[in-house]
Amino acid sequence: MMAPDEIRSTLEQALPGSQVEVTDLTGGLDHFQVVVVSPLFEGKALIERHRMVQSKLRAEVEDGRIHALSLRTYTPEQWRKLLR
């Protein structure tokens, strides 16, 4: 189990300049939805973006603190368009 804030700070530190939103999907603190908005995603395919995020949470996934992640990745520009 992990607090959503812990995941958020882990990712924000590992991916500088990113904004991260973490939602506990089940109330069980192990199924999360994670949205990452980062300039680091510019020019990168979805699979590369997901690999970037996954690699920062590998330990938490391997030891079972995180059971499932739903991941969405956006560049700041994509995010602005989405909100419009």
Binding site for other proteins (CB under 8 A): 46-47, 50-51, 54, 58, 61-64, 66-72
| CB-nearer residue toward other proteins: 16 or 64 | 64
What one-character DSSP code corresponds to residue 16?
T
Structure token pair of residue 63:
């030891």
Task: Please state the closest distance from residue 16 (CB atom) to other proteins, in A.
Answer: 23
For residue 17, give the 3-state DSSP assignment: coil
| CB-nearer residue toward other proteins: 3 or 61 | 61
Tokens 């973490």 correspond to 22
| CB-nearer residue toward other proteins: 16 or 63 | 63
Task: Please state the closest distance from residue 61 (CB atom) to other proteins, in A.
Answer: 6
Structure token pair of residue 51:
């690999």
What one-character DSSP code corresponds to residue 75?
-
